[in-house]
Amino acid sequence: MSTPNPKDDTMSSDTKDLFAGIDIGGTKIYTVITDANGKICGTGRKKTKADKLDFAGVIERTVDCVHDACGNAGIALSDLKAAGVGAPSPILPDGTAVNAPNMGWENVPLVKTLEKALGLPVFAENDCNAGTLGEYYLGGGKGSKSLIGLFMGTGLGGGIIYRGELITGENCMAAEIGHMIVVEGGRRCGCGHFGCLEAYASKTGMGNKFAHEIIFQGRESMLKEKCGKSLSNVRSSILKEAYIKKDEVVVETLNEAAHFLGLGIGNMITLLAPDKVVVGGGVFEALGKELLPLVQKSAKAVTHPPASFKDTKIVLATLGDDAVALGAMVYARECIKKGHK
């Protein structure tokens, strides 16, 4: 999708236009109702229950979530101009969600099903692409021309906007930054490969390191008391507490994750020379001040030529949990402006 520079004051359509932005995740569905400038008028939230529900069941909960958000905004569903969706899957041009493993989805008609259920034009994108769009227009990447977004959560997702265009590739599956190889023959990633960036710089990757150090190596850590053996996706608030208290296992693991994330970012700067890289996700919301300098240091060490690093700012995301939903709204708004559908 081609997107105009956010510095352009003519970017926004009539601010009276209302949009829904929907973030469908493995654990929660979150909806925002906004005006055309991204001002949030109401929200809705529901558990996804993807482990218990099939595609139709999740769609039903999504529709209920949109109705809740409309009610909180004091509007009717029919007042919406369109809805945008961010989903954890590559999205084909016809709105098919190709593969969302944590949802049990494979080649499901996401857009067509939601359009029928909502009675609105619906536009869908990959959730990390949507999050990057949100930061580009409304968050930490505002004012940039080219932006890379990286979001550290259970996995490591990313998105690329280059000179105003969201890069999705010929097969709509580009920008899987978390699966670039940073250590040949390294740790096994959830995707089945070895040495992916995600295996080092994600909650899952860090959880595997915690398990190795605490359970198999017998090292002491406050995580043993707080989490027991449930180390695969430790809450960011617990990680922050342990890091601030200088828990050795946590400090080593998070610093290592920041180092590897910086290596990946340095490679992306060398490749694309964006003016900004935005780093987000729960870990960086909790510990951004502590970890961002480590990311910047390792990125600087591998960026070539060195001048490329000087021209790129690595900054923290600012939209938090709203990033994907707001980015989905932006995507829908821009598709409507271009006359799609």
pLDDT for the residue 153:
87
Q: Measured between alpha carbons, how far is 278 from 295 in angstroms, rounded to an integer?
A: 11
Asked if residue 4 has pLDDT above 90, the reply is no
Helix extents (H) in the chain: 55-73, 110-118, 127-138, 203-210, 222-227, 236-244, 248-272, 282-302, 306-310, 323-337
Structure confidence at residue 230 (pLDDT): 84
Q: Is 259 in a helix, a strand, or coil? A: helix
Confidence (pLDDT) at 101: 84
Longest Cα–Cα distance of the chain, Å, equals: 61
Q: What is the pLDDT of residue 341?
A: 65
Residue 202: which of 158, 169, 137 has the closest Cα? 158
- 15 pLDDT exceeds 90? no
- 10 has pLDDT over 70: no
Query: What dotted CATH number matches 18-127+321-337?
Result: 3.30.420.40
pLDDT at 70 over 60: yes
The band of 210, judged by pLDDT with boundaries at 50, 70 and 90, is very high
pLDDT of residue 46: 96
Q: SS in 3 state form for 63-121?
A: HHHHHHHHHHHCCCHHHEEEEEEEECCCECCCCEEEEECCCCEEEEEHHHHHHHHHCCC
Q: Supply the pLDDT for residue 8.
A: 39
**Does 2 have pLDDT greater than 80?**
no
Question: What pLDDT, in 10s, does the model give residues 291-332?
Answer: 999 999 999 999 998 888 889 999 999 999 999 999 999 999
Domain segments of the chain as ranges = 18-127+321-337, 144-318
Average pLDDT of 126-143?
95
Query: Which CATH superfamily hosts domain 144-318?
Result: ATPase, nucleotide binding domain (3.30.420.40)
> Is residue 228 pLDDT above 70, yes or no?
yes
Q: Mapping DSSP to helix (H, G, I), strand (E, B) and coil, where does residue 174 land?
A: coil
* Average pLDDT score over the chain: 92
C-alpha 79: how far from its chain's center?
Answer: 28
Listed ranges 1-15, 65-79, 205-219; the one with the highest mean pLDDT: 65-79
What confidence tens digit (pLDDT) does each residue in 95-122 have?
999 989 888 999 999 999 999 999 999 9
Residue 83 CA to residue 62 CA, distance in Å, equals 12
Please tell me the predicted confidence (pLDDT) of residue 5: 39
pLDDT at 186 over 80: yes
Report d(CA 213, CA 199) in Å as an integer: 15
> pLDDT per residue over 247-293, tens digit each?
999 999 999 999 999 999 999 999 999 999 999 999 999 999 999 99
The predicted structure's pLDDT at residue 60:
97
pLDDT at 3 over 80: no
| Model confidence band, residue 229 (pLDDT cutoffs 50, 70, 90) | confident
